[in-house]
Amino acid sequence: MDIITENKQIYNKNNDNLSNLSTLLKIKVAGDGCELFDYNLPTPHTYKRFDSNEYTIEYLLNGVFWTKQSNNFLNEILLRFNISMNIKNIETKTVKDKPNAYELKLFSSSSNLKSLSKVIHKPNTEKYEDSIFWGIKLFVETYIGQNEGFVAYSTLENYAFTHYVDLAKDKSTLRAKCRSVWNYYNDREWQTDRKYIKKNKEEVMANRLENITKLNEERKIKTEIKIKAAIDYLNKTDKKITAKAIGEFTKLNKNTLTKYKDLWKKKL
Protein backbone atom coordinates (compact mmCIF):
# COMPACT_ATOMS: atom_id res chain seq x y z
CA MET A 1 0.00 0.00 0.00
CA ASP A 2 1.39 3.41 -0.92
CA ILE A 3 1.57 6.18 1.67
CA ILE A 4 -1.19 8.26 0.02
CA THR A 5 -3.71 5.40 0.31
CA GLU A 6 -2.55 4.58 3.84
CA ASN A 7 -2.90 8.19 4.99
CA LYS A 8 -6.39 8.53 3.55
CA GLN A 9 -7.55 5.31 5.21
CA ILE A 10 -6.26 6.45 8.58
CA TYR A 11 -7.88 9.86 8.14
CA ASN A 12 -11.24 8.38 7.13
CA LYS A 13 -11.14 5.87 9.98
CA ASN A 14 -10.35 8.33 12.74
CA ASN A 15 -11.94 11.42 11.18
CA ASP A 16 -8.92 13.42 12.30
CA ASN A 17 -8.36 17.05 11.48
CA LEU A 18 -5.50 17.36 8.98
CA SER A 19 -3.84 20.01 11.11
CA ASN A 20 -3.40 17.44 13.89
CA LEU A 21 -1.62 14.88 11.70
CA SER A 22 2.06 14.45 10.95
CA THR A 23 4.28 11.79 9.39
CA LEU A 24 6.70 9.62 11.35
CA LEU A 25 9.82 8.70 9.35
CA LYS A 26 11.67 5.68 10.79
CA ILE A 27 15.07 4.80 9.31
CA LYS A 28 17.22 1.78 10.17
CA VAL A 29 20.88 2.44 9.36
CA ALA A 30 23.99 0.25 9.18
CA GLY A 31 26.73 2.49 10.54
CA ASP A 32 28.38 3.98 13.59
CA GLY A 33 26.24 7.12 13.91
CA CYS A 34 28.72 9.49 12.27
CA GLU A 35 26.42 9.62 9.26
CA LEU A 36 24.21 12.11 11.10
CA PHE A 37 27.10 14.55 11.22
CA ASP A 38 28.58 13.67 7.83
CA TYR A 39 25.32 14.58 6.11
CA ASN A 40 24.45 17.46 8.44
CA LEU A 41 21.11 15.90 9.36
CA PRO A 42 18.71 17.43 11.89
CA THR A 43 18.78 15.97 15.38
CA PRO A 44 16.48 12.90 15.33
CA HIS A 45 13.44 12.87 17.59
CA THR A 46 14.51 9.38 18.72
CA TYR A 47 17.81 7.49 18.40
CA LYS A 48 18.09 3.80 19.26
CA ARG A 49 21.27 1.75 18.85
CA PHE A 50 21.13 -2.04 18.56
CA ASP A 51 24.88 -2.70 18.44
CA SER A 52 28.07 -1.00 17.27
CA ASN A 53 27.08 -1.38 13.62
CA GLU A 54 23.34 -0.63 13.49
CA TYR A 55 20.89 1.96 14.79
CA THR A 56 17.43 3.43 14.17
CA ILE A 57 16.46 7.09 13.97
CA GLU A 58 13.01 8.65 13.83
CA TYR A 59 11.92 12.02 12.49
CA LEU A 60 8.53 13.64 12.94
CA LEU A 61 7.58 15.50 9.76
CA ASN A 62 5.03 18.27 9.68
CA GLY A 63 1.89 17.33 7.75
CA VAL A 64 0.90 14.43 5.50
CA PHE A 65 1.78 13.76 1.88
CA TRP A 66 -1.40 13.08 -0.06
CA THR A 67 -0.96 15.13 -3.19
CA LYS A 68 1.12 13.79 -6.06
CA GLN A 69 3.58 16.67 -5.78
CA SER A 70 4.14 16.35 -2.04
CA ASN A 71 4.34 12.55 -2.24
CA ASN A 72 6.97 12.77 -5.00
CA PHE A 73 8.96 15.18 -2.82
CA LEU A 74 8.82 12.75 0.09
CA ASN A 75 9.93 9.85 -2.14
CA GLU A 76 12.80 11.94 -3.47
CA ILE A 77 14.06 12.58 0.08
CA LEU A 78 13.77 8.88 0.96
CA LEU A 79 15.75 7.97 -2.15
CA ARG A 80 18.44 10.49 -1.20
CA PHE A 81 18.78 8.73 2.15
CA ASN A 82 19.15 5.41 0.31
CA ILE A 83 21.92 6.56 -2.02
CA SER A 84 23.79 8.47 0.69
CA MET A 85 23.76 6.04 3.62
CA ASN A 86 23.71 2.27 4.11
CA ILE A 87 19.98 2.04 4.78
CA LYS A 88 18.54 -1.26 6.03
CA ASN A 89 14.91 -0.16 6.09
CA ILE A 90 12.71 2.95 5.81
CA GLU A 91 9.15 3.22 7.11
CA THR A 92 6.62 6.05 7.12
CA LYS A 93 3.52 6.26 9.27
CA THR A 94 0.82 8.86 9.83
CA VAL A 95 0.55 9.87 13.50
CA LYS A 96 -1.25 12.48 15.59
CA ASP A 97 1.89 13.87 17.24
CA LYS A 98 2.76 17.41 16.25
CA PRO A 99 5.24 19.02 18.72
CA ASN A 100 8.63 19.97 17.27
CA ALA A 101 7.94 18.38 13.90
CA TYR A 102 10.40 19.19 11.10
CA GLU A 103 9.50 20.57 7.71
CA LEU A 104 10.43 18.08 4.98
CA LYS A 105 12.21 20.80 2.97
CA LEU A 106 14.81 20.97 5.76
CA PHE A 107 16.27 17.67 4.50
CA SER A 108 16.59 19.14 1.03
CA SER A 109 17.92 22.61 1.84
CA SER A 110 20.18 22.07 4.87
CA SER A 111 21.42 18.46 4.69
CA ASN A 112 24.28 17.10 2.61
CA LEU A 113 22.33 14.07 1.38
CA LYS A 114 23.37 13.16 -2.14
CA SER A 115 21.13 14.31 -4.94
CA LEU A 116 20.17 11.97 -7.76
CA SER A 117 20.72 14.76 -10.25
CA LYS A 118 24.33 15.12 -9.09
CA VAL A 119 25.09 11.42 -8.90
CA ILE A 120 23.62 10.34 -12.20
CA HIS A 121 22.65 12.31 -15.30
CA LYS A 122 18.93 12.73 -15.96
CA PRO A 123 17.61 14.51 -19.06
CA ASN A 124 15.48 17.48 -18.08
CA THR A 125 12.08 16.18 -19.20
CA GLU A 126 9.02 14.89 -17.39
CA LYS A 127 9.73 11.42 -18.78
CA TYR A 128 12.66 11.10 -16.38
CA GLU A 129 10.96 12.24 -13.16
CA ASP A 130 10.60 8.67 -11.86
CA SER A 131 12.94 8.77 -8.87
CA ILE A 132 12.52 5.05 -8.09
CA PHE A 133 13.63 4.14 -11.62
CA TRP A 134 16.71 6.32 -11.28
CA GLY A 135 17.48 4.91 -7.86
CA ILE A 136 17.50 1.38 -9.33
CA LYS A 137 19.56 2.57 -12.29
CA LEU A 138 22.08 4.17 -9.94
CA PHE A 139 22.41 0.90 -8.01
CA VAL A 140 23.17 -1.00 -11.24
CA GLU A 141 25.78 1.53 -12.36
CA THR A 142 27.45 1.41 -8.94
CA TYR A 143 27.37 -2.41 -8.94
CA ILE A 144 28.86 -2.56 -12.43
CA GLY A 145 31.65 -0.23 -11.36
CA GLN A 146 32.45 -2.27 -8.25
CA ASN A 147 32.12 -5.74 -9.83
CA GLU A 148 33.28 -5.03 -13.37
CA GLY A 149 30.16 -6.00 -15.24
CA PHE A 150 27.20 -8.35 -15.17
CA VAL A 151 24.42 -7.93 -12.58
CA ALA A 152 22.16 -10.92 -11.96
CA TYR A 153 18.49 -10.01 -12.29
CA SER A 154 17.78 -11.55 -8.87
CA THR A 155 20.36 -9.20 -7.33
CA LEU A 156 18.69 -6.21 -8.93
CA GLU A 157 15.18 -7.23 -7.91
CA ASN A 158 16.24 -8.02 -4.33
CA TYR A 159 17.73 -4.53 -4.03
CA ALA A 160 14.62 -2.87 -5.47
CA PHE A 161 12.19 -4.73 -3.22
CA THR A 162 14.35 -4.08 -0.15
CA HIS A 163 14.45 -0.32 -0.72
CA TYR A 164 11.42 0.69 -2.78
CA VAL A 165 8.56 -1.79 -2.31
CA ASP A 166 6.73 0.64 0.01
CA LEU A 167 7.31 3.58 -2.32
CA ALA A 168 6.24 2.01 -5.61
CA LYS A 169 2.68 1.96 -6.89
CA ASP A 170 2.61 -1.85 -6.63
CA LYS A 171 4.92 -4.85 -6.95
CA SER A 172 4.17 -5.41 -10.63
CA THR A 173 5.18 -1.83 -11.43
CA LEU A 174 8.39 -2.24 -9.44
CA ARG A 175 9.25 -5.46 -11.29
CA ALA A 176 8.61 -3.70 -14.61
CA LYS A 177 11.13 -0.99 -13.65
CA CYS A 178 13.65 -3.70 -12.74
CA ARG A 179 13.21 -5.45 -16.08
CA SER A 180 13.53 -2.17 -17.94
CA VAL A 181 16.81 -1.26 -16.22
CA TRP A 182 18.22 -4.80 -16.52
CA ASN A 183 17.44 -5.03 -20.24
CA TYR A 184 18.94 -1.58 -20.81
CA TYR A 185 22.37 -2.62 -19.50
CA ASN A 186 22.17 -6.14 -20.87
CA ASP A 187 21.78 -4.66 -24.38
CA ARG A 188 24.93 -2.59 -23.72
CA GLU A 189 26.92 -5.59 -22.45
CA TRP A 190 26.99 -4.18 -18.90
CA GLN A 191 29.02 -1.10 -19.68
CA THR A 192 27.76 2.22 -18.36
CA ASP A 193 29.30 4.34 -21.11
CA ARG A 194 28.37 2.22 -24.14
CA LYS A 195 25.75 3.46 -26.58
CA TYR A 196 22.98 1.13 -27.64
CA ILE A 197 23.58 -0.70 -30.89
CA LYS A 198 20.66 -2.73 -32.16
CA LYS A 199 21.57 -6.38 -32.48
CA ASN A 200 19.98 -9.13 -34.45
CA LYS A 201 18.21 -11.99 -32.70
CA GLU A 202 21.23 -14.31 -32.85
CA GLU A 203 23.50 -11.75 -31.18
CA VAL A 204 20.98 -11.08 -28.43
CA MET A 205 20.55 -14.79 -27.69
CA ALA A 206 24.32 -15.34 -27.70
CA ASN A 207 24.81 -12.51 -25.23
CA ARG A 208 22.11 -13.84 -22.92
CA LEU A 209 23.54 -17.36 -23.13
CA GLU A 210 26.96 -16.02 -22.16
CA ASN A 211 25.49 -14.22 -19.15
CA ILE A 212 23.49 -17.29 -18.09
CA THR A 213 26.61 -19.44 -18.36
CA LYS A 214 28.53 -17.01 -16.18
CA LEU A 215 25.75 -16.93 -13.61
CA ASN A 216 25.51 -20.73 -13.51
CA GLU A 217 29.25 -21.00 -12.97
CA GLU A 218 29.02 -18.57 -10.05
CA ARG A 219 26.18 -20.61 -8.55
CA LYS A 220 28.17 -23.81 -8.97
CA ILE A 221 31.15 -22.37 -7.10
CA LYS A 222 28.92 -21.08 -4.27
CA THR A 223 27.17 -24.46 -3.98
CA GLU A 224 30.46 -26.34 -3.81
CA ILE A 225 31.70 -23.99 -1.09
CA LYS A 226 28.53 -24.61 0.94
CA ILE A 227 28.85 -28.40 0.63
CA LYS A 228 32.54 -28.36 1.57
CA ALA A 229 31.76 -26.19 4.59
CA ALA A 230 29.06 -28.66 5.65
CA ILE A 231 31.45 -31.59 5.29
CA ASP A 232 34.09 -29.82 7.39
CA TYR A 233 31.49 -29.09 10.07
CA LEU A 234 30.23 -32.68 10.16
CA ASN A 235 33.80 -34.01 10.38
CA LYS A 236 34.70 -31.66 13.22
CA THR A 237 31.57 -32.60 15.17
CA ASP A 238 32.04 -36.34 14.47
CA LYS A 239 28.69 -36.56 12.72
CA LYS A 240 27.89 -38.86 9.84
CA ILE A 241 28.12 -37.30 6.37
CA THR A 242 24.76 -37.89 4.74
CA ALA A 243 22.63 -36.05 2.20
CA LYS A 244 20.15 -35.19 4.95
CA ALA A 245 22.83 -33.77 7.25
CA ILE A 246 24.38 -31.70 4.46
CA GLY A 247 20.93 -30.49 3.41
CA GLU A 248 20.09 -29.35 6.93
CA PHE A 249 23.35 -27.43 7.16
CA THR A 250 23.32 -25.84 3.69
CA LYS A 251 19.53 -25.58 3.09
CA LEU A 252 20.15 -27.13 -0.34
CA ASN A 253 17.37 -29.30 -1.72
CA LYS A 254 17.61 -32.99 -2.58
CA ASN A 255 17.91 -32.42 -6.35
CA THR A 256 20.86 -30.06 -5.91
CA LEU A 257 22.65 -32.46 -3.57
CA THR A 258 22.15 -35.26 -6.09
CA LYS A 259 23.89 -33.18 -8.77
CA TYR A 260 26.90 -32.79 -6.49
CA LYS A 261 26.91 -36.28 -4.96
CA ASP A 262 30.43 -36.99 -6.27
CA LEU A 263 31.65 -34.10 -4.16
CA TRP A 264 30.38 -35.41 -0.84
CA LYS A 265 30.01 -39.17 -1.34
CA LYS A 266 33.75 -39.57 -1.75
CA LYS A 267 34.05 -38.25 1.81
CA LEU A 268 32.01 -41.15 3.19
Looking up residue 48, the CATH number of its domain turns out to be: 3.30.70
As a whole number of angstroms, the distance between CA 141 and CA 144 comes to 5
Structural domain contains residue 207: no
147 within domain boundaries: yes
CB neighbours of 258 closer than 8 A, spacing ≥ 6? 243
Q: Rounded distance, CA 261 to CA 264, Å? A: 5
Domain final residue pick, 57, 86, 113: 113
**What value does the mean pLDDT take over residues 148-166?**
82
Residue 190 and residue 257 share a domain: no
- Tell me the pTM: 0.46
Strand partners, 95: 22
pLDDT reading at 125 higher than 80: no
Residue 25 lies in a domain: yes
Residue 73 lies in a domain: yes
Task: Tell me: pLDDT of 245 over 50.
Answer: yes
Task: Find the domain containing 180 and state its range.
Answer: 115-198
Which one of 14-18, 56-60, 123-127 scores highest in mean pLDDT?
56-60
Q: Specify whether 185 is located in the same domain as 105.
A: no
Element (DSSP H or E) covering residue 91: strand 87-95
For 89-112, what is each residue's pLDDT tens digit?
888 888 886 678 888 888 877 777
Contacts 24+ apart (CB under 8 A), 241-249: 241/267, 241/268
Is residue 43 assigned to a domain?
yes
- Domain closes at, from 113, 140, 167: 113
What are the helix and strand counts (H, E) for the chain?
Answer: 12, 4
